[in-house]
Amino acid sequence: MKIYTKIPKKLKPYFQTELLNYSEELEKGNLQSAWKYLERAHVLGQRYPYHHSLVHWKMLQFGFKIKSRKEVIGQIPRLIFGGVKSFVGTIPVGNPGGANVPPLKSFPIEQDLQGIFKNAGLAESQN
């Protein structure tokens, strides 16, 4: 069993860029675009407990902001258990993290995100 703790240095800037883009879009009121960046950050950070939990925290806050009861309720168990699943290496690869998708279902990883993993030297471990 592989235990994941810290996001690799080569992946971290990409993760941070997605969160920055999320914040900028949220500030502008572009909610759909903001959410897309959160989903992308989730895919990039979901193997790493802190980063995985951080994205679910932001998704929970987003749910409150848009007054989505479904998102708020859906994020609570993801916030509680997501980091644990990351720590023990049992995440559903490619899952975008929102309450609109099953929490344990894997999804194909978008081409450009696959490129990010490859640039960070992680292509094999992410597919």
Asked if 46 and 95 touch (Cβ cutoff 8 Å), the reply is: yes
Please report whether residue 100 resides in a domain: yes
The span from the CA of 86 to the CA of 7, in Å, is 11
Please report whether residue 97 resides in a domain: yes
Please tell me the predicted confidence (pLDDT) of residue 1.
56
Whether residue 97 is predicted with pLDDT greater than 70 in this model: the reply is yes
Q: pTM for this one? A: 0.92
User: Considering its fold, how many domains does the chain have in total?
Assistant: 1
Please tell me the predicted confidence (pLDDT) of residue 57.
97
Please report whether residue 125 resides in a domain: no
Secondary structure letter of residue 68 according to DSSP: -
Domain containing 55 equals 12-120
Please report whether residue 93 resides in a domain: yes
pLDDT in tens, 39-84: 999 999 999 999 999 999 999 999 999 999 999 999 999 999 888 8
pLDDT in tens, 101-124: 999 999 999 999 999 999 998 864
Please report whether residue 7 resides in a domain: no
User: Which amino acid would we find at residue 11?
Assistant: L
Please report whether residue 127 resides in a domain: no
Please report whether residue 2 resides in a domain: no
The span from the CA of 90 to the CA of 21, in Å, is 28
Asked if 105 and 95 touch (Cβ cutoff 8 Å), the reply is: yes
